[in-house]
Amino acid sequence: MTDPFLWIKENEIRIPGVTGEHVFLHVSDTHLSVADEFSTDEERAEAAKREENWMRGKENFARGFGEPFGEAQKIGTPEGFDRLLAYAEKEKPEALLLTGDNLEAMHPAGERFLARKLNETGVPFLCVPGNHEAEECAGAWEPGVRVIESDGFRIAAVDDRKQTVRGEDLDALEALAAEGIPMILIYHIPAAALGNREAMRRFGPYFSVDRESEDGNARRFVRFLEECDAVRLTLCGHIHGYSDTEIVPGKRQITASQGMIGFVGRLTVKGTV
């Protein structure tokens, strides 16, 4: 029986040269607020306050996007995260891809919880930090571009949580692209690019990395996404609603809805027919 908390969205991409089927699960914006036996009274109070705020906030986002929200979604972020991971353990994807705001804020209990839970699943994972998070979280993600290699393609993670990308990370992406291996790129904040700028900009300037940004590295990042032949698909989060747009014709940017309401993107990568 399917967990009523979960909302599974199926997507598929075909990449020439790939053999078999490769399944990945995409989760974003779980906004974990956790207290444990090591937490101070102040930390416990802060976690409870943040949980209370998101109990209202996640419903508002869901209603605004016209997405599923019922009694099953009215659970705390730790329980919701456990149920997302239980689904991942059952499905056994090639990797679990988490596109940021895994934590509501960097706090010791949350960092311990996230790293422990991810590493207990036995499912390979790749995380990027979101705008609520720091450059590094021990046991969950590290600074810099990180890569999962698969059969005929790779998945690369890059940090754009400050609405820009570091120059050294852009250099690393360009070096990867020069190898000619097809890439799926994951990051937190969606790109407002040539093909989808109008669609993404309607959410407001806070919610995208804009190709017309005053920041030179932000412009360089979006143009890399637009122009790089190796990039075949991108996955992100941040807006708390599902979207599927095109950076340029034929190159999709899939934005996950909020993990707090049980959203999981199930991505199947196949070869061409």
* Total domains, the chain: 1
159 vs 240: CA distance, rounded Å: 18
Rg (CA), the chain: 18
Assess if residue 1 is contained within a domain. Answer: no
Establish if 2 belongs to a structural domain: no
Please report whether residue 58 resides in a domain: yes
Residue 181 lies in a domain: yes
Question: Of 135, 131, 61, 60, which is closest to residue 101 (Cα–Cα)?
Answer: 131
CATH number of the structural domain spanning residue 176: 3.60.21.10
Q: Establish if 169 belongs to a structural domain.
A: yes
Instruction: Give the range of the structural domain holding residue 32, as residue numbers without chain letter.
Output: 7-270
Would you state the structure tokens that stand for residue 156, as one six-digit string?
Answer: 């690369």
Q: What are phi and psi of 223, to 5 degrees?
A: -65, -30
> Is residue 149 in a domain?
yes
Q: Which residues contact 257 (CB under 8 A, 6 or more apart)?
A: 7, 9, 28, 29, 62, 65, 67, 240, 241, 242, 263
Give pTM, 2 decimals: 0.97
pLDDT in tens, the chain (273 residues): 579 999 999 999 999 999 999 999 999 999 999 999 999 999 999 999 999 999 999 999 999 999 999 999 999 999 999 999 999 999 999 999 999 999 999 999 999 999 999 999 999 999 999 999 999 999 999 999 999 999 999 999 999 999 999 999 999 999 999 999 999 999 999 999 999 999 999 999 999 999 999 999 999 999 999 999 999 999 999 999 999 999 999 999 999 999 999 999 999 999 987
Give the CA distances from residue 238 to residues 21, 158, 257, 267, in Å, rounded to whole numbers and listed in that order.
Answer: 28, 14, 8, 18
Residue 163, amino acid: Q
